[in-house]
Chains A and B, each alone.
Chain A
Amino acid sequence: MNNVVNDFSITVGTKNGSGSSTANNTILRAIFKMGIPVSGKNLFPSNIQGLPTWYTIRASKDGYLGRREEQDIVIAINPDSFTKDLASVAPGGAFYYADDIKLPITRADIALYPMPVKELVKKDPNIPSDFRDLVGNMVYVGVLAHMIGIDIEKINAALTFHFKGKQKPIDMNFNAVKAGAEWAKANLEKKDPFLLEAMDKTEGLIMADGNTAAAIGSIFGGAQFVAWYPITPATSLAEAMNDYFPMLRKRDDGKHTYAVVQAEDELAAIGMSVGAGWSGLRAMTSTSGPGLSLMTEFAGLAYYAEVPIVVWDIQRIGPSTGLPTRTSQADLSFVIGMGHGDSDSVVLMPGDINECFDFGWQAFDLAERLQTPVFVLSDLDMGMNQWMSKPFAYPSTPMDRGKVISEKGLEELKGNWGRYLDKDGDAIPYRTLPGNKHPLSPYFTRGTGHDEYAKYTEDSVVFHRNMQRLKQKFITAKQYVPKPVTYTSKGSTVAIMAYGSTESAINEARTQLEGDHGIKTDFMRVRAVPFPPEVDEFVKNYDQIFIVEMNRDGQLHQLLRLAFPEFALKLKSVAFGDGMPASAKWIREGILEKHAQNTVKAISTKPERKNTSKKTMTAKRGSKGVK
């Protein structure tokens, strides 16, 4: 039997609310501390306590962080999902289970490891009886540690971090880990190939979830006003702002330079943000699909009234009685024209934890520069799961507060000022802020029924002119939005386009496509709408382009087809939405299927390839990418 080192998945099946997240995070952190690239994903139901829930950890020496569909090691603690869990183990895999579950074992092609979880916990007199179930989770951590080679000292470090150095819970949990490990050493014989060995690939990296990154990035962006309403999976973003504001914006006088308001609903959350944005604050809200639909009317008004706000949408599946705790990329079509009547949205699409941080501060600069709502589309997988990442980098540019005229500015202009006047020819007007004491600063804000001086009018010529300017402003936006990230190599005639959290799974699929099927692909991850010119260049250059995304209808695909109708035939949709994070397997299979179907060959003009982003120029960014 050949050992499989640092390249397998571990899935733990437990009950929701049983406290297993501490155990699973401990495994994740310990592997990370061993220098092995690792990712962890919580696949949970909409429930507080009792329903089956899974946590899947993937160790990947090559740095792939996407979900692995093959379940190499499965740990079954929940009798309700035991049979399903047993069936899910890949042939040749390993199955650890609590030995008090008395259900038939139907597999002979896998390694089986019963664990006396309850018994071991009962033996320890230091564990109070009401803590037994919680601490019991640590027994499987210990058994697993011994069997696959997790460094037990790294487990201690992970627990110390988790319990913020509080010795009592650290000891109680660590003793259970040790008990599990010792029992495994004495009683289990290794019959599977999966092993961990320390590496140095996580040196200098951090581990964080996208919502925390977004919150901290927003605070570094000078966020001043947050109004929000609880909704999974966006809740932890606003809560992280509450957590980090006091530390990051601490003042000697103890007073606050920010306000976080939990609103009564999403209508009020965005309404307050629009009010605050109008009065000159860096204002934001965070939500998910259903909340976003409630925000639509205000989004439209903010677009027409040209009020800067930032709206984070942590995408998930549809209605609250759908699969509200499962990930998705299905809000793009809705967001791009969100509002009533003609409207265009500036949309940012972070693809990793670092970009969640960066777009946190950049979104404010963009919103204030363009005087328009900026939507940031993250998703549940990125927002709520732990990802390893480069450390957050301090903002590289000073804040851009956009075109604001102060009292002094009005003096200089001798009051010659119009709120909606396109003075600079970039379709972006100047604004004054409430509280400005110059008698000519105040103006009256309404939707589109105004002239260049904010005076009421329903004149159709004036209305039309204003709407054309708004369109022009959207074109101006192209020069300010983040450029796409591109991976190119010589000789590819096929490309992939995508956005958001699927990058790592796509890069893994690209390696497989090239290695196993001889299909070389280039890859562009778009990061914003409107599409900057780099996207035009890229689309031109290939015979076929596969648009990979996590939804049913291929929304990015549709948007690209609208933007580039002349290339519509060569843009192929590889869209799939089942609530699970993207895996290299479905991306590879989806592309192979569409690739085989491709009988109509688009005309290849074989143009010269150009580097389309900074990242292509870095040599270490090969076709196989580690973030």
Chain B
Amino acid sequence: MSALPMAGAPVNTNLVGLTKNDYRGNPTTLCQGCGHNSISNQIIAAMYEMSILPENVLKFSGIGCSSKSPTYFMNRSFGFNSLHGRMPSIATGALFGDHTLKGIGVSGDGDTASIGMGQFKHIMRRNVNMVYIVENNGVYGLTKGQFSATAERGLELKKQGTNPYMPVDICMEAVISNATFVARSFAGNPKQVKEILKAAFAHNGIAVLDIISPCVTFNNQENAYHSYAWGKDHEEPLHDITYIAPRNEIMLEREMNEGEIREVTMHDGSVVILKNLEKGYDPTDRFEALRALDEAQRNNWLATGLIYINTEKPSLNETYNLVDTPLNRLTEADLRPAPAMIDKINALMF
């Protein structure tokens, strides 16, 4: 990794003067062809294109294959690889340290929907200001191929036999738990992943991204819900999604689509443009979101796109009415009450 721009041939830089290399991480140690790597690459691309200063991002993860990936992107961001299922609490506390920072958390289906279900639900209630990515492959990779809670009923795995339980739908759980941004995508559709990542990053509050990310080693049979083949065949985008940054100069060169268009203005003035494919899907309608998810489930579709968004709710740090200076830059003068206060306190102790 080179931390500072290298001398030599001119390179492309973004608005904050960084090259794409400044957003890279260590070489991946995941399996070749793993969907997770594709997601890491889209994070790098999205952050570079959005001209986000890496030092302004905190990376979090729990435990599992997915949770290893924060080392594969953005070496110039602080990161915390925490405990299995406990990323939400670490992130919640850490983001109080400096409210100007934004979190990117990477979790998996085991880390989120099994051991971490409790913390997952509560971080949504709190609307912590971070992007919460679930790299969802329906299987435990690091422990070599057990069913996860998102595995579909009837799935057959080599050593495990047939999965007898109903799956957890991450997006449905997120919508029900009052998440303010919920999207689903497919690692095999990098363009959509990147646009959703950008919109999620611009969102003020929790943005849950359920990204179906096939496990090439333990769960990539053609008929499995979390496989490449199944994903490609069954993906049913709710819309085309385009993210446009608040400043015109970094507007993407991509052509706007004709047709029925819905704009969602984000907190920072950026815009997400959704081009509806079939029905007039309204992602600001919570009931509609649940209906669409239920319909997709019943029809065996992989409904992708922005499923639900609410830009009205304050994020957690806003709720706490914190001082403008980041809390972790306050000094003794701000934090220790004046000597006179000790007498006042003692007078109350009777």
* A231 within 8 Å of B (CB atoms): no
Q: Mark A429-467, 1 if CB is under 8 A from B, else 0.
A: 000011111111111111000000000100000000000
> Quick one: given A436-B55, A439-B4, are A276 and B82 in contact (CB under 8 Å)?
no
* B97 within 8 Å of A (CB atoms): yes
Whether B342 contacts A272 by the Cβ 8 Å rule is no
Whether A274 contacts B81 by the Cβ 8 Å rule is no
Q: Pick from B162-170, B234-242, B250-258, B325-333 the stretch touching chain A.
A: B325-333
- Which A residues lie within 8 Å of B9 (CB)? none
Once the chains are docked, how many angstroms separate the CA of A280 from the CA of B86?
19
Whether A440 contacts B3 by the Cβ 8 Å rule is yes
Q: Which of B336-350 contact A (CB under 8 A)?
A: 336-337, 339, 341-342, 344-346, 349-350
Whether A444 contacts B91 by the Cβ 8 Å rule is no
- Which A residues lie within 8 Å of B80 (CB)? 275, 278, 444-446
Whether B321 contacts A255 by the Cβ 8 Å rule is yes
- Distance from B74 Cβ to chain A, minimum over Cβ atoms (Å): 9
Q: Which of B79-98 contact A (CB under 8 A)?
A: 79-83, 86, 88-98
Once the chains are docked, how many angstroms separate the CA of A307 from the CA of B80?
11
- Distance from B18 Cβ to chain A, minimum over Cβ atoms (Å): 9
* B33 within 8 Å of A (CB atoms): no
Whether B81 contacts A224 by the Cβ 8 Å rule is no
Once the chains are docked, how many angstroms separate the CA of A276 from the CA of B98?
9
Whether B100 contacts A435 by the Cβ 8 Å rule is yes
Whether B96 contacts A222 by the Cβ 8 Å rule is no
> What number of B residues sit within 8 Å (CB to CB) of A?
59
Q: Pick from A118-126, A330-338, A386-394 the stretch touching chain B.
A: A386-394
Whether B119 contacts A275 by the Cβ 8 Å rule is no
* A259 within 8 Å of B (CB atoms): yes
**Closest chain B residue, CB of each to CB of A438:** B55
* A265 within 8 Å of B (CB atoms): yes
Whether B330 contacts A271 by the Cβ 8 Å rule is no
> Quick one: given A274-B93, A398-B332, A399-B336, are A268 and B349 in contact (CB under 8 Å)?
no
Once the chains are docked, how many angstroms separate the CA of A268 from the CA of B90?
8
**Closest chain A residue, CB of each to CB of B82:** A301
Whether B78 contacts A434 by the Cβ 8 Å rule is yes
- Which B residues lie within 8 Å of A206 (CB)? 346, 349-350
- The one of A298, A433, A441 in contact with B97, judged by C-beta atoms closer than 8 angstroms, is A433
> Quick one: given A256-B320, A256-B323, A298-B83, are A434 and B94 in contact (CB under 8 Å)?
yes
Q: Pick from A245-253, A504-512, A523-531 the stretch touching chain B.
A: A245-253
* B280 within 8 Å of A (CB atoms): no
- Distance from B314 Cβ to chain A, minimum over Cβ atoms (Å): 14
**Closest chain A residue, CB of each to CB of B118:** A264
- The one of A263, A268, A278 in contact with B94, judged by C-beta atoms closer than 8 angstroms, is A278
* A283 within 8 Å of B (CB atoms): yes
> Quick one: given A279-B93, A281-B96, A399-B335, are A444 and B79 in contact (CB under 8 Å)?
yes
**Closest chain B residue, CB of each to CB of A394:** B342
- Distance from A106 Cβ to chain B, minimum over Cβ atoms (Å): 40
* A111 within 8 Å of B (CB atoms): no
* B70 within 8 Å of A (CB atoms): yes
Once the chains are docked, how many angstroms separate the CA of A527 from the CA of B97?
31
* A592 within 8 Å of B (CB atoms): no
Once the chains are docked, how many angstroms separate the CA of A248 from the CA of B334?
11
